[in-house]
Structure 1
Amino acid sequence: MAQLLGHTRTRVTSRHALITQDTLNFLPAVGLVKSRLATLLSSGLGSKFFSGLLLFEADGAATLPESGTETFLYVLAGGCTVDAGPAQVKRIAPGGYLYIPAHHSCILSGAEAETQILIVQKAYRALPDIFSPRMIVGRGGQVQPQPYQGDPDTRIQPFLPDEPGFDMAVALFTFQPGASFPGAGVHGAEHGLFFLQGQGICRLDDSWYPVKDGDAVWAAPLCPQWFVATGKTPAQFLLFRESNRMPEVV
């Protein structure tokens, strides 16, 4: 049923955004075969990141060419084969993730029908005398959850190493019902979130938004942000941000 007068929870401002599933448009793009891409975050918001959802038909494929862009993929549903070079051919399923360093190519193929993958990309910021990051393939269940800031009801699972070569951090947060961040946070790096399950309230600047699975959130640098899980089931989201780099001076 069409929403009355075009109502949506999607909100876009100069310093934050909430993108909801009802406003997504899945479109064809170069390199996609029997698959389409919906944009969640992009430079149009002022973000250094691009993120989107890849939706595949049966036997769909996607080619990610070699470039100065690093890529993180997280399988939301279905599965596909990843070919990232010699000895780097793997099948990834829901909960599986893949980090592809800059200047590496990757082909996704043999997708199951309705496979959905979250893609996050950013131009890699190399440092002198620091080795470039390596490719990483993993599953969320292989990463031990740790209490976040000492709270056992809020747990974090980092998916990428905290090493100088990595300039991107990606982590899975899990909040038990009623759990929250201890207070509003203000960060020097922008943050992107994608909600995997549950629901809650997210503060961005001076606005409080109801959020749920399938929502994407963007917060600009120094944008106050906070979250509390509501409902009767745990809330989970993937968070990505720049890491191990000083802010750029312009």
Structure 2
Amino acid sequence: MSKRSYHAPEGGLPPQSQLLSGRAVFTEAYAVIPGGTMTDIVASLLPFWEKARFWVLARPLSGFAETFSQYIAELQPGGGSDHPDSAPGVEAALFVMEGKLALTIDGVDHDMQPGGFAYIPPDAQWKARNTGSGPVRFHWIRKAYQAVDGITPPEALVTNETLVEPTPMPGTEGRWSTTRFVDPDDMRHDMHVTIVTFEPGAVIPFAETHVMEHGLYVLEGKGVYRLNQDWVEVEAGDFMWLRAFCPQACYAGGPGPFRYLLYKDVNRHMPLCPWSARR
């Protein structure tokens, strides 16, 4: 597989002369966060992280998307954490876009490069550190693991997308493919994080409408996405956040591939309100 590049935010501030209008939008069904909005003043700090800042792309919101949070983390040289997440029962997925990340999961060390993916099981002991000379920028997706009696949680996984053969979608002649880091039939997993690739001109040829919530970060290229009833232009560095049942479709704009990192919740019954169970 050829070497890939991934768009990551660098912070900074726009000049005072820049117009205020932009492509950012938040609706009842979806949100679009353009890459240009990820400036210094919207970054967050988190407990027990050193030389680090985070752009929060998604967080659970009642009545919107409720299953996950997603950050872009930036670590300066030597930065990181030995106690990255204090919440119990939380699983995580990391995807490295720039730099070198030293990751330790339950005592096992891993050296991650751009394109590196890690699945971290719930309640695993892990730590992360920038061991390079430049910044590390990576996605950090967090979800409260939904345990099921009789099914053990999955083990840790660390790999790189260059080691995973993309799966073509049927009938697309390989123009639409998905890089799957875990087996979609593995019921231990209650979320999937994949990379979706469209060659120029390829399309999702119908408006998908389904129960899964989505986070989509454009890693490369540009495209036009249909979200609910709107067509929205997106490019590398943009993030789309979709609640359940939001209709969605897209086509790739070229001249190169259109690729995005995709989160979705899977393989579990829908939670029911306590009052409905008593009726």
Distance in 1, matches of 2:114 and 2:191, equals 22
Out of 116, 122, 128, the residue aligned to residue 102 of structure 1 is 122
Distance in 1, matches of 2:37 and 2:16, equals 12
What code does the residue aligned with 1:144 have? E
Residues 202-239 of structure 1: CA distance to partner in whole angstroms, max 9, x if unpaired? 11101111001111111111110011100210010011
Structure 1 length as normaliser, TM-score? 0.95
Out of 126, 136, 140, the residue aligned to residue 119 of structure 1 is 140
Residue 156 of structure 1: CA displacement? 0.8
Structure 2 length as normaliser, TM-score? 0.85
Residues 18-59 of structure 1: CA distance to partner in whole angstroms, max 9, x if unpaired? 111222222221121001011001124543210010011111
Residue 83 of structure 1: CA displacement? 1.2
- The aligned counterpart of 1:208 is 231
Asked which structure has the greater CA Rg, the reply is 2
Question: Greater strand percent: which structure?
Answer: 1
Structure 1 residues 208 and 128, CA, compared in 2 at 3 Å: closer, same or farther? same
Unaligned runs of 5+ in 1: none
Matched, 1:52 2:71: yes
Matched, 1:14 2:33: no
Unaligned runs of 5+ in 2: 1-14, 274-279
CA contact (8 A) 1:99 1:137 kept: yes
CA RMSD of aligned residues (A): 1.4
Distance in 2, matches of 1:2 and 1:134, equals 49
Distance in 1, matches of 2:90 and 2:21, equals 36
What code does the residue aligned with 1:154 have? W
Matched, 1:38 2:61: no
Distance in 2, matches of 1:35 and 1:196, equals 21
Out of 178, 196, 201, the residue aligned to residue 156 of structure 1 is 178
Residue 148 of structure 1: CA displacement? 1.3
Give the SS at the match of 2:208: coil
Residues 46-73 of structure 1: CA distance to partner in whole angstroms, max 9, x if unpaired? 4321001001111111332362111000
Matched, 1:90 2:101: no
* Identity fraction in percent: 28
